[in-house]
Amino acid sequence: MKSIVCLATSPWHPIPTRKQQVMSRIPDAEILYFDPAATVIAPLRDPRAKPLMRAYKNPGEQVRDNITAYALPPVLPLYYRVRAINRLNEKRAAAYIRGKMTEHGLDKPLLWVYSPLCADVADRIPHAGLVYDCVDRHSAYGGLMKPALVDAMELELARKADVVFATAEALADRLRAANPRTYFIPNGADFERFAQAAQPQPMPEDMKNIPGPVFGFVGALQTCIQYDYVEYAAKARPDWSFVWIGKEKPGVELSGLRALKNVHFLGIKPNAELPRYLAHFDACLNLFAAGELSKDVSPLKFYEYLATGKPIVSTRQPDQIVQYAPLIEIADSPEGFVSACENALNEDPARAALRMEEGRRSSWDSRVAEMRQILKREGVFA
């Protein structure tokens, strides 16, 4: 049986991202999935992080018949600023990973990684092939990092890789200069799950008192979202309701929105429950603010929205949104956002079927099948 060691940038639980979606669709390999490591100072910032310091001592969790998830040992901070610290962290991580490989009887698995940090771990783990799946412009995240160092590590990792995938054309173009075996594979959607939103669904309890029409956003509430468009629209149209579903990230200022009676924050919801909520949206919102990070994002939520068939109101970011312009409403200003929402409420019903067909073509099944064809052609994972 084939084998894969996946070094992820998202923990297996609770939210399925590209990493879990891809690995879940490779049933003919034994897969060891490693959650990203927490830093040793994480409990100082949030006491709830204390269990993460010991999580690597726990037995692996059988999350699928062929997938075991593990936590990595905690790491020293500042690894995105000081290369020597990253090398030390990755040396320890590699020893832990090799130990789990031995426990599972894995010799030379396919090493599938998601972070530029892995430039310092790849040579320490025996592998039959190396895949770098680039899902973001990592150096654009800001915080305690040196962007030039992050970019340099990423290009080094790309050169080492047998195949590179990237979720945005601009990311692929940049990495292709380091490795010509770089392929553009956008994110996708669990089509069968989200297509359920096109059918009647029971009203969730926390939406029963929210009057329509409802414009809804699903996803992380992070700093790169265009919140001011919604604040403007909520004030201009108090008869509309705006619903936010997702986890609020640190540093996001939402007090202006929270003060409005027609804006509702419902928190994070299990992925399996999202179609029930989406079924009661009159339109779905994709609201990335212009910026280096947003430009190269491949938003999972957008492909999930397509699968529902629901009208979509979007900003012009990320770049790959524009190709769907005939099927969605695009706003470039707060006033334009109000007009786009009005258009969405009065659109031609025929667009719904066209969006669902695009959602079907963008399914995770299709994306992973394309990845596997590429890996087979490159002789990396037959």
pLDDT tens readout for residues 333-370:
999 999 999 999 999 999 999 999 999 999 999 999 99
Q: Which phi-psi region, left, alpha or beta, contains residue 213 (left: φ > 0; alpha: ψ -120 to 50)?
A: beta
Q: Enter the pTM of the model.
A: 0.91
Question: What's the rounded Cα separation, in Å, for the pair 129 and 110?
Answer: 5
Distance, first Cα to last Cα, the chain: 11
Helix, strand, coil shares, percent, the chain, to 5: 45, 20, 35
236-241 long-range Cβ contacts below 8 angstroms, 24+ apart: 236/338, 237/338, 237/341, 238/262, 239/211, 240/213, 240/214, 240/215, 240/341, 241/210, 241/211, 241/212, 241/213, 241/214, 241/215
Nearest to 34 by CA among 151, 105, 118, 107: 118
> Is the pLDDT confidence value at 267 over 90?
yes
Residue 221, φ and ψ in degrees, nearest 5: -90, 90
Class of the CATH-defined domain 191-361: alpha beta
Q: Read off the amino acid at residue 379.
A: G
pLDDT in tens, 136-191: 889 888 778 999 999 999 999 999 999 999 999 999 999 999 999 999 999 999 99
**Which one is predicted more confidently, 173 or 249?**
173
Superfamily of domain 2-187+363-377 in CATH is Glycogen Phosphorylase B; (3.40.50.2000)
| Domain map (residue ranges) of the chain | 2-187+363-377, 191-361
